[in-house]
Amino acid sequence: MTELVLSRPVKGRSLWIDAWRRLTANRAAVVSVVYLLLMGVACLVGPLLTGHHYTTIYTDYVRVPPSLTAYPKPDQISGMLDELIRRMRVDLVAWNDQDDRISLTIRSSRPIDPRVVRYFDRSSSFADPKVETTSPDGLTLTLSTAVAKHYFLFGTDNTGRDLLTRTLIAGRVSLAIGLLAGLTAVVIGVIYGATAGYLGGRIDDIMMRIVDVLYSLPFIFLVIMLVVFFGRNFVLMFIAVGAVQWLDMARIVRGQALSIRRQEYVQAALALGVSPLGILWRHVVPNTLGPVAVYMTLLVPQVILLESFLSYLGLGVQEPLTSWGVLIAQGAKNIPSATWLLIFPSIFLTSTLFALNFLGDGLRDALDPKDR
Amino acid sequence: MGETTPLLELANLDVRFDTADGEVHAVRGINLTVAPGETLAVVGESGSGKSQAMMAAMGLLAKNGRATGSVRYRGREILGLPARALDEIRGAKIAMIFQEPMTSLDPLYTIGNQLAEPLMRHKRLGAKAARQRAVELLTLVGIPDPERRLRAYPHELSGGQRQRVMIAMALAAEPDVLIADEPTTALDVTVQAQILELLRSLQQRFHMGIVFITHDLGLARHFADRVAVMRYGQVVEEGPALRVLTRPEHDYTRMLLAAEPTGTKAPPPDDAPIVLEARAIDVTFQIGGGLLAGPPLEIRAVDKVSVTLKQGQTIGIVGESGSGKSTLGRALIRLIHSEGDIRLFGQPIGGLDAAGLRALRRQVQIVFQDPYGSLSPRMTVGEIVSEGLRVHEPQLDARTREQQVIAALEDVTLDPSLRNRYPHEFSGGQRQRIAIARAIVLKPRVLVLDEPTSALDRSVQKGIVELLRRLQREYGLSYLFISHDLSVVRALSDWIMVMRRGQLVEAGPTEEVYGAPAAAYTRELIAAAYGLTDAQEGAASAGN
């Protein structure tokens, strides 16, 4: 190929800026980036806006299907009232619905303690109960109460928790594990791989054999062992996933470093008397970052999937905290009766993975040196 | 020639590329013709569009390229033909050979497979017939023992043999037109002469038209009937080779012809102090070996070579690829391990460890051949040039360092305001200047120049040669100039060392070695290099 003469701006244009320009020209990648940002914001801020806490249990709304209109539905009110009246051990004489409030008349064979209204307080479906009139004998009571409106856009789960809130909270956990474990893997992998590849020779042999040994440890065994020793917790997930994922990264970076070490700019730096650490830091690592950035975007989905897999096996995060993997596992058990429990978390997980993969593809094209 | 229809005719051919920086107009309406039995040399420097014009004619442009105009093969328009229709002509009637024989052959297939496949496809030959034809072809291109070579993989052949195989592949379908894109640039001079001889005899035998793309005017003069000189995508001059290259009409052609390095270097005074002295340097590489692989194979890259470099002296080390000249250069500045005694300013440096060497590093710097590979792509020019200062003068504040970087860039005649740019934004010649700035910013005493001009165009090369001369005068530098290009070495050095297979063949003052070579190998080398460029040398020196 012959070189083509171009007119250029005065300011330097780094390879990263070049790559960024190519990336922004790739529509799928841009859409993915926007989508991932939206997903991140939604998972961070969303749970504050849904009106539910992810641990709140609505006993009245166990496994209700997703709906755009508020719960309770008109036909549910009578059932919920009946349930409440049964618990209050009184008889319902009549009830009617007027202006968002329900007025009802109850009667009992014994005088009714006005404190029965607390049953309404305890219920998540009613709010602000008032005793309107009490009959002189105290056997009949007229009450009024407001109906609490709840929106369950994604429905609720088996214990009556809002699935939307839980899906977003799960997203926080999954994305955090994906990013943090991915980042840990990248940092360890890059440092380890670059060192091994650059130093080469005997040191490289030893370092890479250690990687091989770690590779041969069965991952699930390792996790089970860690869980047995340290109990189940969130941090353990990072360690377990990070401990496995950096091995791939180390191999990739080592391969890169091996070829970079033979580049003339490294030789020139050697001739300048730059210390090995300086060469590693200024020359080797920056030049491995292209493939590393690509691999990172593919690593994050891998880690999210790994976490899902572990959670599916019951080794992952613990209730009431949840992750997409956990939600999907629960949803899978409820396919016949409550499909939404599977559908919504799955959509979130797969769309995020798709976006990450598209972004990875875009990055690979953008950073491909053949384009230059 | 007097042919009615030319074999290949490019008319008003335009090639444009869409790039991130906008449209690049690589070829601007060129007209070229090739008749049977004729050799047309397309000469130009890198970026002149000479390769892209031919790639466009073959329908081999990169995805972002567009060609307009007309390309006719025996009067038939082939530009813009669909790939299927084009394949009847491409490879069968018009064949192409490329510069890099290492990468043009598929490393996973044997020579036999790669030769037989197009035969079976284009000529519908059976496997056995194709194989027989492959043997004939290898014999034709002068590969010894062709039967056995069919089973060889590309890496088992030398560069010259690989290029012969490429030619055999191109000839397999008996093409009328052969497009040779710098076919000998990657080869040693002695091999180059053989390949050109082969092409010429094949041309006579098959009455082919050859389009010979080259940057080397000497080759064009020697090999072509007609020459077209290209610059910025246009043909600036076209005509019979002898006329164009001896009585050029266009300024650019004249400039190209005058770009051949000229001049000589006077030796340093006898009492000049010795800066670098090396006795009986041995470098051995171990290949393979290991726990299960058995004992490693030892290759002696440099075998008992001694060097004495005085202040202000330039020693030219010449030899073909594999002669160990680069290895020697690197061993002398302790980039690779060697046996033997090396003294810098009288102080032995052979036994020093990395830390002890660091202080001496600033006295001895190196400039590499490949200006694209020797600058870290993710650092700005300022960072690259200042790196040595950070190591050797860490006490400097950022401002002083910046000033020294600016001074070094001015020394190599680069605009210092460009120091925040990245290497890929510069041309090859500019990059080589950056590499030289990086070396001289430390004010070294010795510079090892490892083929610093080989990857550059002649006109750019001339500038670098002048720069090196000026720096030597101003700073009293001593150079070790390693090159396979005899004319550049001659212009720059006062002492010549000829190397072959790791051994010193001959050493002496430049004019003695060039004028009356003592060793047979030196004679062969000089004959191969100057046999081709004699006439042009004469013209160039007459012009001066």
Instruction: Find the mean pLDDT for residues B234-255.
Output: 86
DSSP element (H, E) containing B155: none
Chain A interface disruption, residue of B24, B45, B376, most A CBs within 10 A = B376
Task: Indicate yes or no: CB of B24 within 8 angstroms of CB of A22.
Answer: no
Q: Is residue A65 part of a domain?
A: no
Q: Is residue A57 part of a domain?
A: no
Look at A100 and B83; give whichever has higher pLDDT.
Answer: B83
Q: What is the pLDDT of residue A254?
A: 92
pLDDT band at residue B391, thresholds of 50, 70 and 90? confident
Task: Indicate yes or no: CB of B335 within 8 angstroms of CB of A271.
Answer: yes
What is the C-alpha separation between A354 and A362, in angstroms, rounded?
12
Contact yes or no for A270/A288 (Cβ under 8 A):
no
Work out whether the CA dihedral A50, A56, A59, A65 comes out positive or negative: positive
Chain B residues lying within 8 Å of A290, measured CB to CB: none
Instruction: Find the mean pLDDT for residues B447-473.
Output: 85
Q: Does residue A106 sit in the same domain as residue A173?
A: no
Burial class (CB in 10 A: 0-12, 13-18, 19+), B153: middle
Task: Indicate yes or no: CB of A11 within 8 angstroms of CB of B19.
Answer: no
Percent helix, strand and coil across chain B, each rounded to 5? 40, 25, 35
Q: Is residue A336 part of a domain?
A: yes
Chain B residues lying within 8 Å of A10, measured CB to CB: 417-418
Residues of chain A with pLDDT under 70: 1-13, 99, 368-372
Contact yes or no for A157/A342 (Cβ under 8 A):
no
pLDDT at B542 over 60: no
Q: What is the pLDDT of residue A5?
A: 38
Given A6, A269, A276, which is nearest B21 (Cβ)?
A6
What is the C-alpha separation between B318 and B312, in angstroms, rounded?
19
CATH number at residue A271: 1.10.3720.10
Contact yes or no for B193/B109 (Cβ under 8 A):
no
Contact yes or no for A281/B370 (Cβ under 8 A):
no
Chain B residues lying within 8 Å of A263, measured CB to CB: 373-374
Cα angle value B323/B529/B306 (rounded, 5°): 35
Q: Assess B432–A contact: CB distance below 8 Å, yes or no.
A: no
Q: Does residue A223 sit in the same domain as residue A112?
A: no
Min CA distance, B540 vs chain A (Å)? 26
Tell me the residue ranges of DSSP E strands in B269-424.
Answer: 274-287, 297-310, 314-318, 339-344, 347-348, 364-367
The region of weakest confidence among B183-192, B349-358, B490-499, B532-541 is B532-541
Count the domains in chain A. Answer: 2
What is the C-alpha separation between B177 and B97, in angstroms, rounded?
11
Write down how long chain A is.
372
Given A7, A18, A268, which is nearest B366 (Cβ)?
A268
Chain A interface disruption, residue of B234, B368, B387, most A CBs within 10 A = B387
- Closest residue on chain B to A274 (Cα): B391
3-state secondary structure B74-125: CCEECCCCCHHHHHHHECCCEEEECCCHHHHCCCCCCHHHHHHHHHHHHCCC
Write down how long chain B is.
544
Q: Does residue A295 sit in the same domain as residue A224?
A: yes
Q: What is the pLDDT of residue B399?
A: 86
Dump pLDDT digits (tens) for B211-243.
Answer: 998 888 878 888 888 999 988 888 888 888 888
Dump pLDDT digits (tens) for B49-69.
Answer: 888 888 888 888 877 888 888
Task: Answer with the one of A115, A147, A179 that is the final residue of a domain.
Answer: A147
Q: What is the layout of strands, in order, in the sheet containing B339-344? A: B297-310, B274-287, B339-344, B347-348
Min CA distance, B13 vs chain A (Å)? 17
Q: Does residue A264 sit in the same domain as residue A312?
A: yes
Task: Indicate yes or no: CB of A15 within 8 angstroms of CB of B424.
Answer: yes
Given B50, B387, B427, which is nearest A274 (Cβ)?
B387
Task: Indicate yes or no: CB of A267 within 8 angstroms of CB of B368.
Answer: yes
Chain A residues lying within 8 Å of B25, measured CB to CB: none
Q: Does residue A258 sit in the same domain as residue A316?
A: yes
Task: Indicate yes or no: CB of B425 within 8 angstroms of CB of A283.
Answer: no
Q: How many percent of chain B have pLDDT more than 90?
A: 5
What is the C-alpha separation between B278 and A239, in angstroms, rounded?
55
User: Which of left, alpha, beta for B339 (phi over 0: left; psi -120 to 50: alpha)?
Assistant: beta
Peptide bond into A114 cis (omega under 30): no
Q: Does residue A108 sit in the same domain as residue A256?
A: no
Q: Is residue A66 part of a domain?
A: no
3-state secondary structure A61-103: HCCCCCCCCCECCHHHHHHHHHHHHHHHCCEEEEEEEECCEEE
Chain B residues lying within 8 Å of A198, measured CB to CB: none
Q: Is residue A30 part of a domain?
A: yes
Q: Assess B60–A contact: CB distance below 8 Å, yes or no.
A: no
Q: Which of residues 408-427 of B touch A (CB under 8 A)?
A: 417-418, 420-422, 424-425, 427
Given A15, A270, A278, which is nearest B335 (Cβ)?
A270
Min CA distance, A176 vs chain B (Å)? 30
CB contacts < 8 Å between A and B, how many? 120
Q: What is the pLDDT of residue A372?
A: 40
Min CA distance, A263 vs chain B (Å)? 6
Given A264, A269, A270, which is nearest B373 (Cβ)?
A264
Q: Does residue A97 sit in the same domain as residue A177?
A: no
Task: Answer with the one of A147, A171, A189 that is the final residue of a domain.
Answer: A147
Contact yes or no for B165/B141 (Cβ under 8 A):
yes
What is the C-alpha separation between B453 and B431, in angstroms, rounded?
11
Task: Indicate yes or no: CB of A271 within 8 angstroms of CB of B428.
Answer: no
Q: Is residue A359 part of a domain?
A: yes
Min CA distance, A256 vs chain B (Å)? 14
In chain B the first and final C-alpha atoms are separated, in Å, by: 35
Dump pLDDT digits (tens) for B366-382.
Answer: 888 887 788 888 888 88
Chain B interface disruption, residue of A265, A267, A279, most B CBs within 10 A = A265
Q: Does residue A133 sit in the same domain as residue A244?
A: no
Contact yes or no for A29/A356 (Cβ under 8 A):
no
Q: What is the pLDDT of residue B538?
A: 40
Chain A residues lying within 8 Å of B46, measured CB to CB: 2-3
Q: Is residue A303 part of a domain?
A: yes
Cβ neighbour number for residue B190 with a 10 Å cutoff: 15
Contact yes or no for B314/B493 (Cβ under 8 A):
yes
Task: Indicate yes or no: CB of A273 within 8 angstroms of CB of B392.
Answer: yes
Q: Does residue A322 sit in the same domain as residue A218?
A: yes
Q: Assess B362–A contact: CB distance below 8 Å, yes or no.
A: yes
What is the C-alpha separation between B386 and B514, in angstroms, rounded?
40
Task: Indicate yes or no: CB of B388 within 8 angstroms of CB of A18.
Answer: no
Q: Which of residues 4-43 of B touch A (CB under 8 A)?
A: 17, 19-22, 24, 26
pLDDT band at residue B1, thresholds of 50, 70 and 90? very low
Instruction: Find the mean pLDDT for residues B126-136.
Output: 86
Dump pLDDT digits (tens) for B141-160.
Answer: 888 788 888 888 887 877 77
Given A6, A22, A264, which is nearest B24 (Cβ)?
A6
Given A22, A268, A272, which is nearest B20 (Cβ)?
A22
* CA atoms in the 13 A half-sphere facing the CB of A125: 20
Min CA distance, A22 vs chain B (Å)? 8
Residue B150 tokens, joined: 């069919």
Task: Indicate yes or no: CB of B357 within 8 angstroms of CB of A271.
Answer: no
Complex-level ipTM? 0.75
Task: Indicate yes or no: CB of A15 within 8 angstroms of CB of B378.
Answer: yes
- Using alpha carbons, select from B431, B447, B283 the residue that is nearest to residue B366: B447
Chain A residues lying within 8 Å of B335, measured CB to CB: 267, 270-271
pLDDT at B544 over 80: no
Task: Indicate yes or no: CB of A264 within 8 angstroms of CB of B357.
Answer: no
Q: Does residue A47 sit in the same domain as residue A82?
A: no
Q: Which domain holds residue A127?
A: 72-147
Task: Indicate yes or no: CB of A271 within 8 angstroms of CB of B374.
Answer: no
CATH number at residue A136: 3.30.1360
- Closest residue on chain A to B386 (Cα): A272
What is the C-alpha separation between B29 and B71, in angstroms, rounded?
12
Q: Is residue A64 part of a domain?
A: no
Task: Indicate yes or no: CB of B421 within 8 angstroms of CB of A265.
Answer: no
Contact yes or no for A1/A370 (Cβ under 8 A):
no
Give B330's contacts (C-beta < 8 A, 6+ positions apart): A267, B336, B366, B448, B450
Residue A335 tokens, joined: 């396919």
Q: Does residue A97 sit in the same domain as residue A230?
A: no
- Using alpha carbons, select from B69, B366, B50 the residue that is nearest to residue A267: B366
Q: What is the layout of strands, in order, in the sheet containing B446-450? A: B364-367, B446-450, B478-483, B314-318, B495-500, B503-509
Q: What is the pLDDT of residue A12?
A: 62
Q: Does residue A221 sit in the same domain as residue A328?
A: yes
Chain A positions contacting chain B at CB under 8 Å are 1-8, 10-16, 18, 21-22, 25, 263-265, 267-276, 278, 282-283, 286-287, 289, 372
What is the C-alpha separation between B102 and B99, in angstroms, rounded?
9
DSSP, collapsed to helix, strand or coil, labels residue B527 as helix
Task: Indicate yes or no: CB of B421 within 8 angstroms of CB of A287.
Answer: no
Task: Indicate yes or no: CB of B391 within 8 angstroms of CB of A272.
Answer: yes
Task: Indicate yes or no: CB of A287 within 8 angstroms of CB of B424.
Answer: no
Cα angle value B358/B362/B365 (rounded, 5°): 110
Dump pLDDT digits (tens) for B257-308.
Answer: 877 777 788 888 888 888 888 888 888 887 666 666 667 777 788 888 898 9
Average pLDDT over chain B reads: 83
Range B478-493 burial, b when 16+ CB lie within 10 A, else e: bbbbbbbbbbbbbbbb
Task: Answer with the one of A82, A117, A147 that is the final residue of a domain.
Answer: A147
Work out whether the CA dihedral B398, B399, B402, B407 comes out positive or negative: negative
Q: What is the pLDDT of residue B536?
A: 39
Work out whether the CA dihedral B361, B363, B369, B373 comes out positive or negative: positive
